Amino acid sequence: MVKETTYYDVLGVKPNASAEELKKAYRKLALKYHPDKNPNEGEKFKQISQAYEVLSDPKKRELYDKGGEQAIKEGGSGGGFGSPMDIFDMFFGGGGRMQRERRGKNVVHQLSVSLEDMYNGAMRKLALQKNVICDKCEGRGGKKGAVECCPNCRGTGMQIRIHQIGPGMVQQIQSVCMECQGHGERISPKDRCKSCNGRKIVREKKILEVHIDKGMKDGQKITFHGEGDQEPGLEPGDIIIVLDQKDHSVFTRRDEDLLLSMDIQLVEALCGFQKPITTLDNRTIIITSHPGQVVEHGAIKCVLNEGMPIYRRPYEKGRLIIEFRVIFPESGFLSSDKLSLLEKLLPTRQEIEETEEMEQVELVDFDPSQKRKHHYNGEVYEDDEHQPRDGVKTSNWETAHSHTPKQEKYQPHEPPAAGSDAEGHAEEASKEKHNHDHGIRLSQQRPGSTQFSELDQLQYNLHPETNVCISKELVENTPQRLPQGPEESVRTLHLLTCS
């Protein structure tokens, strides 16, 4: 037996209404009497919300059915009512109240440190500005009792507008209250604190002592808990210091290891050496390479326990890794007599047996910026793609091979009718087809293009204008495809081709 039906009457349902009927009734009435739609029906909206809050909770509903509203107020089930806007938000989403964070935001600062600081440990002072609660008004923003709830948003800091966009369809728009700027309260200008002007917080200079422990790394964070900006009603956030390691002129760090490049002379690489190294804590260590222990160019060696200290284990260290660069003497540093003597001391060099088919060539220094001269069939021209081609004499080789990228179809020689040389002609035709296909394959591997560098043309023996690569086999075995000329021209082609 229901003792009181007031809440049921407010929602317009029977005392035996189901949970779904209660929800449907509340949804309809909440949209109708929402303060944004009916500003004068705020009390009615509050009654609707209270009624649904009680009847939608099985325990509160049972208590209400037995003792009425008085039983609810006496706190038999916890007592009190929630905000009407909170209940409305369960159906339509959003936040009737301004959602405030429990903690303030963290503040991040970057601190530039040297490699020596991370090796030896250091203490640095960091001055910064932060928000603190005003001491004059104790964070109230004005005189005691001068702060009042904003009537425009009812203390929520947000305004919610409901628009009906169709039958049974509504749209909720939430925005910051312009009256109180989202604070949910306002203070009369005459009652505002003179120190903070009603903002409740002031800016203050803070000096932090940052302790850099041995072995800390680039990008490592040091946290000062609760030292962030203060704000009434919020727990202050943290100040986070991020270490930014500066480059070092000698050492490079890689985790717990230190990397170092060292130049040594050729005599030191062969006969041994002793080199001093000044460490990051100003000690001097001497590294030794014993005579007869050859150090090659690019060799990498290490010294144990002379790297970076390990974080929180400062008595343990990584490795000092050294890469050696051997400096060779300049040309002509020894006379012929001394070179002969040196040759007797060094390991013997490999001797080759020259034949008539071999030719002597000389090595010269390679300069990519220098203009190149190409010799084809005894003729010389300068390759300068910025100069016009008009009036430039081209070689017979270039004229013979200045064709389009399309490859002509191979046409074999007509086979002889009959005779003892038939087999020889067939073999020659087969070799010609092989050479032709081989030349096409090489050309396709490095197609004609203006983007080839000089190193490409040297490595693949590309023609400077057509960028066609020809094998030595093709030159020797297909003379009918090359320009006919004196023997000297053929020799020039042999020097410029690749096998």
- Could you tell me the two tokens for 93? 């989403």
Backbone torsions φ then ψ of 438, nearest 5 degrees: -65, -40
Distance CA 137, CA 377 (A): 99
Out of 48-62, 64-78, 178-192, 466-480, which region has the weakest mean confidence (pLDDT)?
Answer: 466-480
Q: What is the mean pLDDT of the chain?
A: 75
Percent of the chain with pLDDT over 90: 26
In angstroms, the CA 367 to CA 336 distance is 28
Q: What angle do CA 189, 193, 198 make, to 5 degrees?
A: 65
pLDDT of residue 453: 52
For range 291-295, the mean pLDDT: 90
Assess contact for 458 and 477: CB atoms under 8 A. Answer: no
Q: Which of the two residues, 324 and 40, has the higher pLDDT score? A: 324
- Cβ proximity of 303 and 322 under 8 Å: yes
Share of the chain above pLDDT 70, in %: 67
What's the confidence (pLDDT) of residue 220?
95
Domains and CATH numbers, the chain: 6-92 (1.10.287.110), 120-244 (2.10.230.10), 252-327 (2.60.260.20), 373-496 (no CATH)
Q: Say how far residue 21 (Cα) sits from the centre of its chain.
A: 56
Q: Is a pLDDT exceeding 80 seen at residue 271? A: yes
Cβ 468 vs Cβ 402: under 8 Å = no
Question: Averaged over 51-79, what is the pLDDT?
Answer: 75
Please determine, for residue 214, whether its predicted confidence score (pLDDT) is greater than 50.
yes
Q: Each residue of 438-490: pLDDT tens digit? A: 444 444 444 444 444 554 554 445 555 544 444 444 444 444 444 444 444 33
What interhelical angle do 19-33 and 42-55 show, nearest 10?
170
Residue 163: pLDDT band by 50, 70, 90 thresholds?
confident
Give mean pLDDT, residues 342-356.
Answer: 86
